[in-house]
Amino acid sequence: MRIYNGIIAEELIRKYQPDLVFLDIQMPMKNGFEVMRDQPDTKYIIVTAFDTFDYAQRALRLGAMDILLYRRHAHSGRNPGGADRSPSGGGGRIAPGRR
């Protein structure tokens, strides 16, 4: 299920209580950090296009199990295929989480 709004993501997390949520940081209305903060009993894997230490550190401090980096397509600003697993190193896992 894809959700493009942090408020709806949080509502669905409360309603369905999933074991694991793949969550983007940049969402309208409420960002992924806020969702993680307000729903701390859920396990998260962060999926983001932002390759910064600050984002990784903040996500891990909020309890993210892992962080997946994807590359946005330059022509559209979106990545319809998800995480980039190309051998050129354009994306993939950027930070280990706690186990």
Where exactly are the structural domains of the chain?
6-96
Helix then strand then coil, in percent of the chain rounded to 5, is: 25, 20, 55
Residue with tokens 């859920």: 42
Q: What pTM did the predictor assign?
A: 0.70
The stretch 36-42 carries a mean pLDDT of: 96
Residue with tokens 């969702």: 35
**Under 8 Å CB-to-CB from 58, ≥6 apart: which residues?**
33
Please give the CATH topology (third level) of the domain spanning 6-96. Rossmann fold (3.40.50)
pLDDT value, residue 37: 97
pLDDT at 87 over 60: no
pLDDT value, residue 34: 97
Q: What is the pLDDT of residues 7-36, one digit of tens each?
A: 999 999 999 999 999 999 999 999 999 999
pLDDT at 92 over 50: no
User: Are 20 and 1 contacting, i.e. CB atoms less than 8 angstroms apart?
Assistant: no
H helices present in 1-99, as ranges: 6-16, 32-38, 53-61
pLDDT at 91 over 90: no
pLDDT value, residue 33: 96
Which among 63, 55, 49 has a CA at the least distance from the CA of 20? 63
Rounded CA gap, 1 and 72, in Å? 20
